[in-house]
Chain A
Amino acid sequence: MDLNIRIAGAAGQGVETTGDLLVETFAGQAVHCFSTQTYMSRIRGGLNWYDIRIADRELFSGRGKADLLVALNEDTLNWLRADVNDGGLVLFNGADNDGVVAIEFESVAKEVGGSAIMANTVAAGAVVALLGHDFTGLESGLRERFGRKGDEVVDANIACARKGAELVADHVGKLTGPESSDAPTAICSGNEAIGLAAATAGVKFVTSYPMTPSTGVITFLANVADRYGIVVEQAEDEIAAVNMICGATYAGVPAMTTTSGGGFALMVEGLALAGMLELPIYIFLGQRPGPATGLPTRTAQQDLLFAVHAGHGEFPRAVFAPGTPQQCYDLTRHALEIAHEYQTPVILMSDQFLADVRKNCRGLDTSYRPIDRHIVQEPPEDYLRYTVTESGVSPRAIPGSKALVVVDSDEHAEDGHITDHLEVRVRLQDKRMRKLQGLLSDVLPPDWYGPTEAEHVLIAWGSTYGPCREAVDLINASGGSAAMLHFSQVWPLNVDGIRRMLGGRKRITAVECNQTGQFASLLRMVGAVSECELLTRYDGMPFAAEEIARRIAP
């Protein structure tokens, strides 16, 4: 049982509200869900759709085609009709149209609820009824969503949903939805998971300049700031943002910024500053297709080599690329811990696809559990900020304590003061770079999915986790022999470990949402693979599992 519902309309028609309402309703009934959003960079008028895939097993990917299309206007009907599976249904907001179930959502809403605004509630009611699902979930969802606006609004919405259900009564049974299972009833998006992990890990200062698709993270944090005691401030530009968090981490609080490729480009000098000053900053990089402004609302994995190499000079860093909302949560906390343990910047990469993915998540811990900042509380009087140590990690004190803390973006001696001394330079540069050894020893091993003896290994990183994982299932179900090796940490890389996993395979294919196979290049650069095939997509849309399985066929 595996069904894809697509709600489509113009921006401003409530596509997102309907989609959210439906995901929450299904997840609330312990149905496995996976939702994705596709939209144009326009506030009103563009074409948007919200896919909700539901099934009786855990889902990791979207699907290209829909089983049920709810077209809220004529454009979306014309545009998306061809992508409805055989045996699928179309609900169309309008007068009769061949082969579709025409329901005038807006006039129905006006009639029943008193306002055309509730058209999407009529649609939600119709979808839930059509799939033969319990109605109480939807009703309580509506109560939760509109409760603040008063009983009248809640009642009107419930009436609209019921009317929607009535209007599809003749079609009930044509599509069957999955039963409830052991699916977690909580849901989470990639961006929410990152925000929640940062707040609970003790990030105290967040500053960003808005840029899609990263904005959801700082918005989430702004909304929980009072609860967790966080200062959230919109910066005047990305250069300010990164320098502000350098200042804040120097003064002792975990701090982060969020951005996308263009903004990250502006932060690059500040990233190098954090490398030189040995500050544990966390940068969230939500990718979208470039170059330049590119496709602001679409998805891509084009900034990997940029993130790994960004910054002038040489300094250690760790770069993470979670593949699921759960990993977004776990790795944000982990990345903050690593940054503080090694006193060096970390970058966590996501993209529009993962930012918007909503999926059942086993209750992410909302309790406040601040990470260890590895700060020396009582430094000696003769404290030196950059004492040379074997690990490269120097005891870290913060200003306001018993010692003076001196940091300098110029090359500096152990006391932090500017130096021109070439020997000191080498000693301090070596000290900083020795931290790479520690980072390497803490590298997260890539995840293996599929039979250990698989002949064909799909290499994935970041958000391609889900589509690749499902592609492996499809390939193996049709007699192939495939597995996935997914990297949620893309820098540094454990070369020997990777070689061991990939040795002796018949085929290796890197699956990436970019044109040049950036992760494959990185693997070649460090000598982890000598050759591999590429399966790329860079039109701004995420991979779908069937697509990978089809395109990868021998």
Chain B
Amino acid sequence: MIEKPFFDSDIAWCPGCGNFSILRTLDKTVEEAGIDRKQLVLVSGIGQAAKLPHYTQANVFNGLHGRAVPAAVGIKLANHELEVVITSGDGDMYGEGGNHLLHNIRRNVGVKAFVHNNMVYGLTKGQASPTSEIGFKTKLQVHGVMSLPFNPLAIAIAEQCSFVARSFAGDPKHLQEMMVAALQHKGGFALLDILQPCPTYNRVNSFKWYRDRVRKIGEEHDPYDRQQALDLAFRWGDEIPLGLIYKHDRPTFESQLEVFKKGALVAQYRQ
């Protein structure tokens, strides 16, 4: 007889993982903002980060790897009264699901995307992710990563994403500020990139590594200034800016549809 494994309710994250702080902060944010959890849907793809919805109280759509964004958009369009929040990994959102990200920034549906960016694939045991740096060695990238890292912030700004921010799992206070700002944002698609140390598979970009580099953006920054925002988005290395980097005002997808004026699609359905 094979012994039956049983770790249903255990959290499947390694001790010291940055995901714990993201989970605690999200929980705190939801609690303090008084968000009705029955109106909250957490959407994720597949990965370590994508397990977050299972560890809190909310409606959950844990879909396919890379497909959190289209699922979230489908949910939001069926019922735009719901608060729809994506919490997923960098591989999920920037790699497998990259095309959806590109086009949903354009579409500007009001879903909030919180990306746990650990610069590595955690769940599949440590391969490079789209944000891994050049030279990053893994069991698969044996000579180190050769491709340039994907810059989610610059891409989002180039596409005039309505809300672009970055925070750090090691600074829960700042993270909560950014989560609140994203949740309060009514202007459409919001991208919050969260620097998330993965002590197991990314020994380079550790809590300490980040603490030595992250700098909060000062008051003087105007998030509506695209050039300034791009400039911040391209900064990486000795100084990594944190904060609300870019905002752009334009109509949301929902606000442009006549049919939504009568209420949520699901509420219009009678039967």
Interface residues, chain A, CB within 8 Å of chain B?
Answer: 202, 204-205, 207, 225-226, 229-231, 233, 235-237, 239-241, 243-255, 269-270, 273, 277, 370-373, 398-410, 413, 416-424
12 A-B pairs, CB-CB below 8 angstroms? A233-B77, A236-B102, A236-B104, A243-B67, A243-B74, A247-B77, A248-B75, A370-B269, A400-B38, A404-B37, A409-B46, A409-B62
Once the chains bind, are A420 and B5 in contact (CB under 8 Å)?
yes
Chain A residues lying within 8 Å of B258, measured Cβ to Cβ, are 226
Chain A residues lying within 8 Å of B53, measured Cβ to Cβ, are 406
Once the chains bind, are A251 and B74 in contact (CB under 8 Å)?
yes
Q: Which residue of B lies closest to A407 (CB)?
A: B61
Given A243-B64, A399-B59, A420-B8: A373 and B269 within 8 A (CB)?
yes
- The proximity string for B residues 68-81 relative to A, scoring 1 for CB distances below 8 Å and 0 otherwise, is 01111111111101
Chain A residues lying within 8 Å of B46, measured Cβ to Cβ, are 409-410
Identify the stretch in B152-160, B193-201, B259-267 within 8 Å (CB) of chain A at 4 or more residues: B259-267
Q: Which of B58, B102, B259 counts the most chain A CB atoms within 10 A?
A: B259
Once the chains bind, are A404 and B259 in contact (CB under 8 Å)?
no
B4 lies within 8 A of chain A by Cβ = yes
Given A373-B271, A421-B4: A231 and B100 within 8 A (CB)?
no
Once the chains bind, are B271 and A370 in contact (CB under 8 Å)?
yes
Q: Which residue of A lies closest to B100 (CB)?
A: A240
Once the chains bind, are A252 and B4 in contact (CB under 8 Å)?
no
- A277 smallest CB distance to B (angstroms): 8
B: interface residue count bin = 35 or more
CA distance A233 to B271 in the complex (A): 24
- A270 smallest CB distance to B (angstroms): 7
Chain A residues lying within 8 Å of B6, measured Cβ to Cβ, are 420-421
Chain A residues lying within 8 Å of B180, measured Cβ to Cβ, are none
Given A247-B74, A250-B61, A420-B6: A240 and B103 within 8 A (CB)?
yes
User: Which residues in window 1-30 of B have CB below 8 A to A?
Assistant: 4-9
Chain B residues lying within 8 Å of A246, measured Cβ to Cβ, are 63, 71, 74
- B50 smallest CB distance to A (angstroms): 10
Given A202-B271, A240-B70, A373-B269: A252 and B78 within 8 A (CB)?
yes
Once the chains bind, are B38 and A252 in contact (CB under 8 Å)?
no
Given A205-B77, A251-B74: A370 and B82 within 8 A (CB)?
no
Once the chains bind, are B270 and A418 in contact (CB under 8 Å)?
no
Given A236-B102, A370-B271, A417-B8: A408 and B62 within 8 A (CB)?
yes
CA distance A250 to B68 in the complex (A): 13
Once the chains bind, are A205 and B75 in contact (CB under 8 Å)?
no
CA distance A239 to B73 in the complex (A): 13
CA distance A370 to B76 in the complex (A): 21
Q: Which residue of B lies closest to A229 (CB)?
A: B259
Once the chains bind, are A250 and B75 in contact (CB under 8 Å)?
yes
Once the chains bind, are A255 and B269 in contact (CB under 8 Å)?
no
Chain B residues lying within 8 Å of A205, measured Cβ to Cβ, are 74, 77-78, 265
CA distance A273 to B76 in the complex (A): 19
Q: Which residue of A lies closest to B40 (CB)?
A: A399
Q: Which residue of B lies closest to A240 (CB)?
A: B70
Once the chains bind, are A419 and B74 in contact (CB under 8 Å)?
no
Chain B residues lying within 8 Å of A406, measured Cβ to Cβ, are 53-54, 59-60
- A339 smallest CB distance to B (angstroms): 14
Given A402-B38, A418-B51: A248 and B77 within 8 A (CB)?
yes
B41 lies within 8 A of chain A by Cβ = yes
CA distance A252 to B58 in the complex (A): 17
Chain B residues lying within 8 Å of A373, measured Cβ to Cβ, are 269, 271
B99 lies within 8 A of chain A by Cβ = yes
Beyond known contacts A243-B63, A248-B78: 7 more, CB 8 A cutoff: A244-B70, A247-B70, A250-B74, A253-B265, A370-B270, A399-B41, A400-B59
Once the chains bind, are A404 and B74 in contact (CB under 8 Å)?
no
Given A253-B265, A370-B271: A247 and B78 within 8 A (CB)?
yes
- A172 smallest CB distance to B (angstroms): 52
Chain B residues lying within 8 Å of A229, measured Cβ to Cβ, are 259, 262, 265, 268
Given A230-B259, A410-B62, A423-B4: A400 and B265 within 8 A (CB)?
no
